[in-house]
């Protein structure tokens, strides 16, 4: 199963990173960081909010964009009207980088989501040190206790948290820990198949005071309009943007009514 493979690799990777850059090192860097930007507020702006993803590759699709000029793409996303950016920082499976996060932070004013497989508190401090304003926590790879602990750490670091679910069971856990921003992943991380019906089914079970983001499989304006009819606040879009020959036009197709 690809998710298990990713998590097992991530555990080894994080232990290596701790040897190269200590938690105390990260805390010192954080002290010099500016205040975070409000990821949640960006999602609550009127209309559908686009989280545009910087995604070079994926386990299911392989290389998605060969000409991956991360800073230039981030600037184009911002100018085209995206309200926040998702930065892939996993290298082994997505060809991302923590350095992408810090480079993009210097280049744009939008809130940044660190997109990775967070399985250790160290990674939360790492996200803040490298310039993230929000992190992704995936219910499928964490216990309820870990989720609660990680939410608390993120709150202490002034980071917003997008808690990702794919099933009713996972959604119930997210609601039990009182998360504010719920991401519904239309991609089954066990087999990597995509179905927008996942969002449509689960959103009905989410209280009105929660912020809802639909992730994966959003390809065109028709998808956006469908999701808009079902109380979705934002969409996270990567592949369809990365494959586009005209990123600005694709962003505007998605966000302009």
8 A C-beta contact, residue 179 and residue 209: no
Token digits of residue 133 = 């304003």
* Active-site pick, 55, 76, 214, 250: 55
Region of 191 (left: φ > 0; alpha: ψ -120 to 50; beta: rest) is alpha
What's the pLDDT at 191? 55
What's the pLDDT at 187? 82
Kindly list the averaged pLDDT for each block of 10 residues, start to end, along the chain of length 257.
Answer: 92 98 98 96 94 94 93 98 98 96 98 98 98 98 98 98 97 96 86 81 96 95 93 95 95 86
Taking the C-alpha atoms of residue 105 and residue 41, their distance in angstroms, rounded to an integer, is 18
Strand duo 57-58 + 62-63: pairing:
antiparallel
Give, in order, the Cα–Cα distances in Å from 209 to each of 180, 181, 182. 8, 10, 11
Token digits of residue 99 = 């350095």
Task: Assess whether 115 carries a catalytic annotation.
Answer: yes
The total number of residues shown for the chain amounts to 257
* Active-site pick, 76, 170, 215, 239: 215
pLDDT in tens, 63-75: 999 999 999 999 9
Residue environment code for 221-257, b if the CB has 16+ CB neighbours within 10 A, otherwise e: eebbeebeeeebbbbbbbbbbbeeeebeebbeebbee
8 A C-beta contact, residue 48 and residue 83: no
- For the chain, count helices (H), then strands (E): 12, 10
Task: Assess whether 53 carries a catalytic annotation.
Answer: yes
Task: Assess whether 216 carries a catalytic annotation.
Answer: yes
What's the pLDDT at 256? 83
How many other C-beta atoms can be found within 10 angstroms of the C-beta atom of residue 145? 9
Query: Residue 239 is part of a domain; what is its CATH number?
Result: 3.20.20.70
- Into how many domains does the chain fold? 1
Task: Assess whether 250 carries a catalytic annotation.
Answer: no
What's the pLDDT at 61? 86
């Amino acid at each position: 199963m690809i998710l298990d493979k990713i998590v097992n690799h991530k555990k080894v990777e994080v232990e290596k990173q701790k040897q190269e850059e200590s938690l105390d090192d990260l805390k010192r860097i954080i002290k010099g960081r500016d205040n975070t930007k409000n990821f949640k507020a960006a999602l609550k702006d009127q209309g559908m909010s686009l989280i545009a993803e910087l995604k070079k590759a994926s386990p299911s699709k392989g290389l998605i964009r060969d000409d991956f000029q991360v800073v230039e793409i981030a600037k184009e996303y911002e100018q085209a009207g995206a309200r926040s950016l998702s930065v892939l920082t996993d290298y082994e499976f997505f060809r991302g980088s923590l350095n992408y996060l810090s480079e993009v932070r210097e280049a744009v004013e939008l809130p940044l989501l660190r997109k990775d497989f967070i399985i250790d508190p160290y990674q939360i401090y790492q996200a803040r040190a490298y310039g993230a304003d929000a992190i992704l926590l995936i219910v499928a790879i964490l216990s309820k206790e870990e989720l609660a602990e990680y939410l608390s750490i993120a709150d202490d670091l002034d980071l917003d948290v997008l808690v990702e679910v794919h099933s009713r069971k996972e959604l119930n856990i997210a609601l039990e820990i009182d998360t504010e921003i719920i991401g519904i992943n239309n991609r089954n991380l066990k087999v990597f198949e995509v179905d927008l019906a996942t969002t449509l089914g689960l959103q009905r079970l989410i209280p009105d005071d929660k912020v809802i983001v639909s992730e994966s499989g959003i390809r065109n304006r028709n998808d956006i309009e469908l999701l808009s009819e079902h109380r979705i606040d934002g969409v996270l879009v990567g592949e369809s943007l990365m494959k586009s020959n005209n990123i600005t036009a694709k962003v505007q197709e998605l966000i302009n009514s």
